[in-house]
A = this chain, B = another copy of it.
């Protein structure tokens, strides 16, 4: 107990320091709201969590001076889980964590200048989890903000410094402030070593820092762990020895980390081992782990991101593989499904698994780190992408069966619900590389708490907390509005300059930053090339997934499947995802497909230029440091948008054999030089 108290003191010290020194280097994230306004807070006795809530309220109070605020545990049936109720002078919650979340919400509303009002807020998902694709050597797969904050370079990643611990506390606090309550600490392409004693000891140390903030620790596990670090000859999930190995391992984990959350598993996907290696199913594998975890309250998040080198359309494979298994999983297993059926593209239709699984709970996996959306070089606010996904209607139980409803327990009750976001966090001073990438971390947390929140609201919240003072300066309203405009248009701009009209996965091999629609390679599987996806030829462009083609449309419920199937009713934003469309096809704009494609690419480039203009006009409205950082990155984004436009138009023009409309700006690169550039340049 003394130990925990010491932890709390260090944590409180931390949160005071964080915003005092070098305040505007981005390190403080959206938590810049230190205040001198006095408040008296009474809590329901003392506990690490309650004490944290009180400390936060005192530190960031922007309400009436000298108020008395009461924190109380309540059995109000309107409050669910770790939800809370805010009142004029009280926060009520069923749990201590609820009080902490209520405290953050109250402080936020004060800072944002929203008048305090009585309302209840309950989380949409019970588990709101960050997935860190951090390798044990400190590198981060698809990370663009430095190295891992968990796994250092020294002592095989096992060293722990005071700075590390402070970082973990600051990380936990930031997450708690937006409602995140779980962290998977290592890459889904998991090293088996993570389950070995020394690494589990380190996990314990991390978990101790996360615990006061209500963050549960999870681990990605390698299915072959019993072979790789145990002494077993195989990892067959039906083998009693294997089952026992996992039971023993889980027991060992819980002895170290009593509130351990569970396992995240990528099995039989992209070369990872899995139950199919032994002729077993995903069910066999997941259930074995679930059985081991169940006694301790742990869960298994089994990833549905599976596809094999087969003639079948890659986007159909996960659905085909998992649908027959529906209902066969243990109750503490949940299927973790990427928002789209492919892989975190700038725009995808939602995954049919959301509407497909009826008995097995499904959790959305969003990608916060911008693997396909510009790394930490480009300003792309992803909240609109996630909002779009959550609001998509699956028609699972008729109209209104949104992806949100399919996953948050509204449509059918499940023991628990969950949502995951692949983190964009590294040891860069500002955590995320691009200042605006902080907004994606923030938005994920906010949407995980409330999946009906509008992106424009999230953006406004984030802008004010991140850049502006509680008390508004003259220029603040203009800044807030301008930047909100940029953020709200940013993802659509990226779609335009990268992959408009339903194009997908025409990225350069490997780095997934720049364009390579030409990418084709006989030596690798077709579905790892670009030409597999766009299928451009002299007739037209696009992947025929209609009933005449791969019939992916029929993985969706009616009336959506027929709507997608028909060229005339398919939404144009998904046009080339579902149809191979003739170059001469007239779109709703009246333009033929080729012309429209050109105009979209051009629009995307010009959009980024308009972001530059908007941003530059804000010179002086905020601190120089972040202003210039963003200005510089927008310049890069502008150049790189032009590279995208030129590469795609010049490449596709070889098939369309049509002129780029003469009234738009001409390419400024040659195709050949772009092929070299995207290969050679440091693009990731």
A-side residues, CB < 8 A to B, are 609, 612-613, 616-617, 619, 632, 634-636, 638-639, 642, 659-660, 662-663, 665-670
Quick one: which of B617, B639, B667 contacts A635, CB cutoff 8 A? B667
The answer to whether A669 and B616 touch across the interface, beta carbons within 8 angstroms, is no
Question: A658 → chain B, closest Cβ, in Å?
Answer: 11
Query: 5 smallest A-B Cβ distances: which pairs?
Result: A612-B666, A638-B668, A639-B668, A635-B668, A632-B670
Known: A616-B659, A619-B659. Is A609-B639 also a contact (CB below 8 A)? no
Chain B residue nearest in CB terms to A667: B635
CB-CB < 8 A to A638: which residues of B? 666, 668
A-B contact pairs, 17 of them (CB 8 A): A612-B665, A612-B666, A612-B668, A613-B662, A613-B665, A617-B662, A619-B659, A635-B666, A635-B667, A635-B668, A635-B669, A635-B670, A638-B666, A638-B668, A639-B668, A639-B669, A642-B668
> B632 near A666 (CB under 8 angstroms)?
no
Contacts of A612 in B (CB 8 A): 665-666, 668
Q: How far is the CA of A632 from the CA of B667 in the complex (A)?
A: 9
A621 to B667 Cα, complex, angstroms: 20
Residues of B within 8 A of A662 (CB): 613, 616-617
Chain B: minimal CB distance from A594 (Å) = 15
| Cβ contacts under 8 Å, A660 to chain B | 616
> How far is B670's CA from A634's CA once the two chains are assembled, in angstroms?
10
CB distance from A71 to the nearest CB of B (A): 49
Nearest-neighbour CB distance to chain B for A505, whole angstroms, equals 26
Report B-chain residues with C-beta under 8 Å of the C-beta of A613. Answer: 662-663, 665-666
Nearest-neighbour CB distance to chain B for A401, whole angstroms, equals: 45
* CA A662 to CA B616, docked complex, whole Å: 7
- Docked complex Cα distance between A666 and B610 (Å): 9
A639 to B659, CA, bound (A): 21
CB distance from A659 to the nearest CB of B (A): 7
Complex-state Cα separation, A663 to B614, whole angstroms: 10
User: With contacts A612-B668, A635-B666 known, what are 9 further pairs, Cβ within 8 A?
Assistant: A609-B665, A609-B666, A613-B663, A613-B665, A616-B659, A616-B660, A635-B667, A635-B668, A639-B668
A609, A617, A662, A663 — which one has the most chain B CB atoms within 10 A of its CB? A662
Which B residues lie within 8 Å of A667 (CB)?
A: 635
Query: Which chain B positions have C-beta within 8 A of A668?
Result: 612, 635-636, 638-639, 642
In whole angstroms, how far apart are the Cα atoms of A348 and B665 in the complex?
32
A370 to B659, CA, bound (A): 32
CB distance from A370 to the nearest CB of B (A): 20
Q: Which residue of B lies closest to A671 (CB)?
A: B632
Residues on B with C-beta less than 8 A from A642 are: 668
A635 CB, min distance to chain B CBs, angstroms: 5
Residues on B with beta carbons closer than 8 Å to the beta carbon of A665: 609, 612-613
Q: How far is the CB of A7 from chain B (nearest CB, A)?
A: 43
Q: Could you tell me the distance in whole angstroms from the C-beta of A646 to the nearest C-beta in chain B?
A: 8
Contacting residues, chain B, for A659 (C-beta < 8 A): 616, 619
Q: Which residue of B lies closest to A633 (CB)?
A: B670
A635 to B670 CA separation, bound complex (whole angstroms): 7
How distant is the Cα of A660 from the Cα of B609 in the complex, in angstroms? Answer: 14
Q: Separation in Å of the A612 CB from the closest CB of chain B?
A: 4
**Chain B proximity of A479: nearest CB distance (Å):** 15
* CB closest residue in chain B, given A615: B666
> How far is B667's CA from A668's CA once the two chains are assembled, in angstroms?
16
Smallest CB–CB gap between A673 and chain B, Å? 9
Q: How far is the CA of A12 from the CA of B642 in the complex (A)?
A: 50
A672 nearest in chain B by CB position: B632
When chains A and B are docked, how far (Å) is the Cα of A635 from the Cα of B616?
A: 27
Residue of B nearest to A634 (CB): B666
Query: Separation in Å of the A329 CB from the closest CB of chain B?
Result: 51
Q: Give the distance in Å from the alpha carbon of A609 to the alpha carbon of B665 in the complex.
A: 7
Separation in Å of the A249 CB from the closest CB of chain B?
A: 50
The residue in chain B whose Cβ has the minimal distance to the Cβ of A659 is B619
Select from chain B the residue with minimum beta-carbon distance to A639. Answer: B668
Residues of B within 8 A of A634 (CB): 666
Is there contact, CB below 8 Å, between B670 and A616?
A: no
- Pick from A616, A636, A662, A666 the residue with the most CB of B within 10 Å: A666
The chain B residue with its CB closest to the CB of A617 is: B662
Output the nearest chain B residue to A660 by Cβ-Cβ distance: B616
Please, how many angstroms separate the alpha-carbon atoms of A614 and B612 in the complex? 27
Taking CB as reference atom, which chain B residue is nearest A665?
B609
Q: How far is the CB of A481 from chain B (nearest CB, A)?
A: 16
Q: Which residue on chain B has the smallest CB distance to residue A650?
A: B635
- A668 to B613, alpha carbons, bound, how many Å? 11
Complex Cα–Cα for A663 and B610 (A): 10
**Bound state CA distance, A668 and B669, in angstroms?**
15
Q: Which residues from chain B contact A670 at a C-beta distance below 8 Å?
A: 632, 635
Report Cα–Cα, A634/B666, bound state, in Å: 10
Q: How long is the Cα–Cα vector from A173 to B54 in the complex, in angstroms?
A: 93
CB distance from A544 to the nearest CB of B (A): 31
CA of A638 to CA of B639 in the docked complex: distance in angstroms? 13
For A635, what are the chain B residues with a Cβ–Cβ distance below 8 Å?
A: 666-670
A663 to chain B: which residues have CB within 8 Å? 613
